Amino acid sequence: MPVYMAEFKLRYGDMKWYVRRVVEASSVEEAREVAIRFARAMNRGEVRWELSYVIEADRPLMLGAEELEKLGA
């Protein structure tokens, strides 16, 4: 099954930070729907979750030799 990465903006009072989650779905549209449902479920607490974007990800959240090579590091 393809893997996508969803980025969420979290807000708590004046504070703001970003969190990324890996989403398994058959299409980017399905991944976006899953991410929206996840954000709604997480909004039951004091921290507000907002979906920023969803992208297809071959190696989500991985830092390895391949990523360093792409960056020229």
| Residue 60, pLDDT score | 63
Candidate CATH numbers 2.30.29, 3.40.50, 3.10.20, 1.10.1740; the one for domain 3-71: 3.10.20
pLDDT digits (tens, 9 = 90+) for 39-64: 999 998 899 999 999 999 876 677 78
pLDDT score of 10: 97
Query: What's the Cα-to-Cα distance from 35 to each of 11, 23, 44, 68, rounded to whole Å?
Result: 17, 7, 15, 28
pLDDT at 63: 77
Q: Whole-model pTM?
A: 0.79
Q: Which DSSP state fits 2? A: -
Inter-residue contact 34 to 58 (CB < 8 Å): no
The fraction of the chain above a pLDDT of 90, given in percent, is: 68
More confident residue, 8 or 63: 8
- Is 70 exceeded by the pLDDT of residue 25? yes
* Residue extents of the structural domains in the chain: 3-71
